[in-house]
A and B are shown apart, each in its own frame.
Chain A
């Protein structure tokens, strides 16, 4: 008897439609975000993450409206990320019905923003998204760096140190995406996941690379993550949430 590990389907949303990139390049359409969110809620998802990848600011109203519609029909925790740069952006999303916001690039360029956000809204609703990529050469001690702009721009920041700093600045949770693995479906980067999970005392969500149910199990058992996030394996019906939960439960993981 204890806290269950969580399965979080992720909706990458652009201009009001769910899409999913393979390494952020090849994008396929998986439908209306409200319908997808409702389907996941009914299927037993523990939370839903909604990443807004809409490029232009003019389309932000569409996003807010979509969040409102999801929040009116889906009664599990909803995290919204993408384009969260100002305190006002957080207020807008929380008022629209988000429970948490995920801050990514803005945290890298202005770490004090995380502090201000946690002070204003409470750590429980501030998720810091970390996009990490392995930078150590083969044979060297493992080292991962923070990247921005969809994995294109290195920052020189060490991923594990950065996670510790974000915890100290008031992050309530870390959404860790491995940029090497994202969309390639060969499993989470268990090395960086485990290194960060051992370094911080806030919950960590493993993301990027889930391609089968063993990957979800490994993310928790080997990566020590508190939750696993996946998109494609659920969007295209390869597995249902219930199949994933049953399998993880069989492997000795406590699930809802």
Chain B
């Protein structure tokens, strides 16, 4: 029996992610929500979600020693970071006056800014909330069955810029170009919420479960 574990560190709504995984998991898969290091170590696939402020997230990640655990398991199995779960994998975030993150993906998390402007100089609201397009800038099995420039559901005020463009396979645009999907070996990180992105979000989760790096 295959086993996917959603890492529970008290930050946010794991119910949605777990329900969406249950919805797409092939028969024979088990979906579990857990903070137990042994359970996470024995999983076949791991999902690392997160919502809220980065300082609180990183504090919980460190308290539960999930930073070293995630660093260990990405050597062995597919891991999917979602939203703040993604941001926590970068080097540093400028949220909350600056917070050092896990640094599994070299890069920075920056604020969209209060005076964000669009292409026609129109005011853009922050948080970036709603359905926006993701440009597929690198091929990857995670894109199977998902047309280029499909829309996914985003909610965030800070955005990711990876240091190395080779890690970027999906890009979004909201006043600035930002990284929507990053890949480093076994690790995939997405800024949007696939569990809230209707049929194409579910397709991405399904692709993740069948991904064998």
| Interface-central residue, A46, A71, A94, A122, by most chain B CB under 10 Å | A122
A155-190 toward B: CB 8 Å interface, digit per residue (1/0)? 000000000000000001100000000000000000
A94–B156 Cα gap in the complex (Å)? 18
B201 touches which one: A46, A75, A98 (CB < 8 A)? A75
Please classify the interface of chain A as helix (H, G, I), strand (E, B), loop, or mixed, using the class held by over half of its residues. loop
Determine the chain A residues whose CB is within 8 A of the CB of B126 once the complex forms.
201-202
Q: Which of A2-10, A106-114, A133-141, A209-217 lines the interface with chain B?
A: A2-10
Judged by a CB distance under 8 angstroms, whether B15 is at the interface is yes
A201 touches which one: B15, B53, B125, B156 (CB < 8 A)? B125
A226–B198 Cα gap in the complex (Å)? 20
Judged by a CB distance under 8 angstroms, whether B91 is at the interface is no
Determine the chain A residues whose CB is within 8 A of the CB of B195 once the complex forms.
75
Determine the chain A residues whose CB is within 8 A of the CB of B129 once the complex forms.
124, 172-173, 203, 226
| Total A-B Cβ pairs within 8 A | 95
A67-92 toward B: CB 8 Å interface, digit per residue (1/0)? 00001110111000000000000000
B135-156 toward A: CB 8 Å interface, digit per residue (1/0)? 0000000000000010101011
Whether A3 pairs with B130 at a CB distance below 8 angstroms is yes
Judged by a CB distance under 8 angstroms, whether B51 is at the interface is yes
Judged by a CB distance under 8 angstroms, whether B41 is at the interface is no
Whether B125 pairs with A203 at a CB distance below 8 angstroms is yes
Whether B196 pairs with A75 at a CB distance below 8 angstroms is yes
| Nearest CB in chain B to that of A45: its residue | B198
Whether A75 pairs with B52 at a CB distance below 8 angstroms is no
Nearest chain B CB to A184 CB, angstrom units: 28
Whether B174 pairs with A3 at a CB distance below 8 angstroms is yes
In chain A, residues 186-204, which have Cβ atoms closer than 8 Å to a Cβ of chain B?
201-203
Known A-B contacts A76-B153, A99-B196; the reply to A2 vs B125 at CB < 8 A is no
A89-126 toward B: CB 8 Å interface, digit per residue (1/0)? 00000111111000000000000000000000111110
B51 touches which one: A73, A98, A124 (CB < 8 A)? A124
Judged by a CB distance under 8 angstroms, whether A39 is at the interface is no
Determine the chain B residues whose CB is within 8 A of the CB of A72 once the complex forms.
19, 23
Determine the chain B residues whose CB is within 8 A of the CB of A172 once the complex forms.
127, 129, 155
Whether A226 pairs with B125 at a CB distance below 8 angstroms is yes
B131 touches which one: A3, A41, A99 (CB < 8 A)? A3
Nearest chain A CB to B199 CB, angstrom units: 8
Whether A76 pairs with B196 at a CB distance below 8 angstroms is yes
In chain B, residues 147-199, which have Cβ atoms closer than 8 Å to a Cβ of chain A?
149, 151, 153, 155-156, 173-174, 193, 195-198
Judged by a CB distance under 8 angstroms, whether A256 is at the interface is yes
B20-47 toward A: CB 8 Å interface, digit per residue (1/0)? 1001000000000000000000000000
In chain A, residues 21-48, which have Cβ atoms closer than 8 Å to a Cβ of chain B?
41, 46
Judged by a CB distance under 8 angstroms, whether B76 is at the interface is no
Judged by a CB distance under 8 angstroms, whether A227 is at the interface is yes
Determine the chain B residues whose CB is within 8 A of the CB of A77 once the complex forms.
153, 193, 196
| Nearest CB in chain B to that of A197: its residue | B125
Judged by a CB distance under 8 angstroms, whether B58 is at the interface is no
A201–B125 Cα gap in the complex (Å)? 5
Judged by a CB distance under 8 angstroms, whether B77 is at the interface is no
| Nearest CB in chain B to that of A72: its residue | B19
| Interface-central residue, B51, B114, B124, by most chain A CB under 10 Å | B51
| Nearest CB in chain A to that of B194: its residue | A75
| Nearest CB in chain B to that of A119: its residue | B53
Judged by a CB distance under 8 angstroms, whether B97 is at the interface is no
Determine the chain A residues whose CB is within 8 A of the CB of B71 once the complex forms.
none
Q: Which 5 A-B pairs have the closest CB atoms?
A: A122-B52, A256-B131, A4-B131, A124-B155, A97-B15
18 further contact pairs, Cβ within 8 A, besides A6-B130, A75-B19, A95-B15: A1-B133, A1-B149, A2-B132, A3-B131, A4-B130, A41-B198, A46-B130, A72-B19, A72-B23, A75-B201, A77-B193, A98-B13, A99-B16, A121-B52, A124-B155, A172-B155, A173-B129, A202-B125
26 contacting pairs across A/B (C-beta < 8 A): A2-B118, A2-B133, A3-B124, A3-B132, A4-B130, A4-B151, A71-B15, A75-B16, A75-B23, A75-B196, A75-B197, A76-B153, A77-B153, A77-B193, A95-B15, A96-B15, A97-B13, A97-B16, A97-B19, A98-B13, A99-B13, A121-B52, A124-B51, A125-B51, A203-B127, A256-B151
